[in-house]
Chain A
Amino acid sequence: MPDTTAPDGGPLLVVDGLTAGYNGVPAIRDLSFTVGAGEVVSVLGPNGAGKTTSLLAIVGLVPPMAGSVTALGRPVNVRRPHELARRGVLLVPDDRGIFPGLTVRDHFRLAQRRQDPAREAAVLDRFPALKGLLGRRVGLCSGGEQQMLTIAKALLGRPRVLMIDEMSLGLAPKIVQEMLPSIRALAREEGIGVVLVEQHIELALSVSDRGVILNHGRVVLEGAARDLLAHRDQVEAAYFGADEFAGSDVPGGAADGGAGGSGATSAAVVAS
Chain B
Amino acid sequence: MATDKQIFEYAPAPESRAVVDIAPSYGLFIDGEFAEAADGKVFKTVSPANEEVLSEVAQAGAADVERAVKAARKAFEKWSALPGAERAKYLFRIARIIQERSRELAVLESLDNGKPIKESRDADLPLVAAHFFYYAGWADKLGHAGLGPDPRPLGVAGQVIPWNFPLLMLAWKIAPALACGNTVVLKPAETTPLSALFFADICRQAGLPKGVVNILTGDGSTGAELVAHPDVNKVAFTGSTEVGKAIARTVAGTDKKLTLELGGKAANIVFDDAPIDQAVEGIVNGIFFNQGHVCCAGSRLLVQESVQDEVLDALKRRMATLRVGDPLDKNTDIGAINSAEQLARIKELAAAGEAEGAERWAPACELPGEGYWFAPTLFTGVTQAHRIAREEIFGPVLSVLTFRTPEEAVAKANNTPYGLSAGIWTEKGSRSLWMAGKLRAGVVWSNTFNKFDPASPFGGYKESGFGREGGRHGLEAYLNV
Asked if chains A and B come from one complex, the reply is no
